[in-house]
Amino acid sequence: MGDPQTMTAPAPGTPVAYRDPGRQALERRVARRNALVGMASLVVFVVAVSVLVSRTPGWPVVQETFFSAEQFTESLPGLLEAFLLNIKIFLIAEPVILVFSLLIALTRTLRAPIFLPLRVVATIYVDVFRGVPTILVIFLLGFGVPALRLQGVPNDPVFWGTVALILSYSAYVAEVFRAGIGSVHPSQRMAARSLGLSSWQTNRYVVLPQAVRNVVPPLLNDFISLQKDTALVSVLGPIEILRQAQIDASSTFNYTPYVAAAAIFIALTIPMTRFADWVQGRMARRQRAGGVA
């Protein structure tokens, strides 16, 4: 690029991408000014909110009970250690949910009469587990199954809590997959079948790859939700982060450990949320379907 002062417009019709340097400089100035205005506005807002909140009559007490720096640093190591259990539950549950829910979704798309029983079971499963609150499933499995005193069945509350999360979430994620399968235009299936591909091959090579791509953003959304819901397993008693925060809070009569636990969850979910946004943006740009209709 030449010096803006000396560069003049090329002759009309010249096959180059010409941009007026004066205009570009102007655009840069406007962009810089917009950034400055945004920053200034943000600073004013944060200061105003801080001043308003700290002027409220109850603030000193709230600050001491919820935002005690001392309590925060004291409870943090124990909370982080307990959080490892949440991460473990999440890491085990997530892949199982992905596979299980995809199978459920595929079962629900089978049309051959012989598969009717499978389809009925899958439909009832989704209806039931989407209808029951997750915390109830955790209660029922976590307290109910060990009470049966079955031989060879684990009594570990973490095990049953994880199973309950898997059952509950798979019902939701199966519906996400089913929506994804439905989002692939019927003409794609028709084109594949017209080439001689079997119904299974059509699913495997044409429909599913597109379906999964279409539902990556809602899937990531469900997994952010699952990260948080690992805390529900605390109702069964294992020392995960929420239970640990409860123990800390009840021994000191200070709620700061809850805030600390919240901060730890946020530290994990925000990167995941940004990642989901990024994936969604990238797919929106990439998603220019090859076949019209």
Interacting residues with other proteins (CB under 8 A): 187-188, 190-198, 201, 205-206, 209-210, 213, 288-293
Of 240, 237, 248, the closest CA to residue 265 belongs to 240
d(CA 97, CA 108) in angstroms, rounded, equals: 16
Closer to other proteins at the Cβ: 88 or 213?
213
Collapsing DSSP to helix, strand or coil, 60 comes out as helix
Q: What's the closest the beta carbon of residue 183 comes to other proteins, in angstroms?
A: 12
Closer to other proteins at the Cβ: 12 or 290?
290
Q: What's the closest the beta carbon of residue 206 comes to other proteins, in angstroms?
A: 6
Closer to other proteins at the Cβ: 164 or 215?
215
Closer to other proteins at the Cβ: 46 or 289?
289
Closer to other proteins at the Cβ: 171 or 192?
192
Q: What's the closest the beta carbon of residue 90 comes to other proteins, in angstroms?
A: 29
Q: What's the closest the beta carbon of residue 184 comes to other proteins, in angstroms?
A: 10
Q: Which long-range contacts (CB under 8 A, 24 or more apart) does 77-81 make?
A: 78/244, 78/248, 79/241, 79/244, 79/245, 79/248, 79/257, 79/260, 79/261, 79/264, 80/264, 81/244
Q: What's the closest the beta carbon of residue 99 comes to other proteins, in angstroms?
A: 21
Q: By 3-state DSSP, what share of the chain in percent is helix, strand and coil, each rounded to 5? A: 80, 0, 20
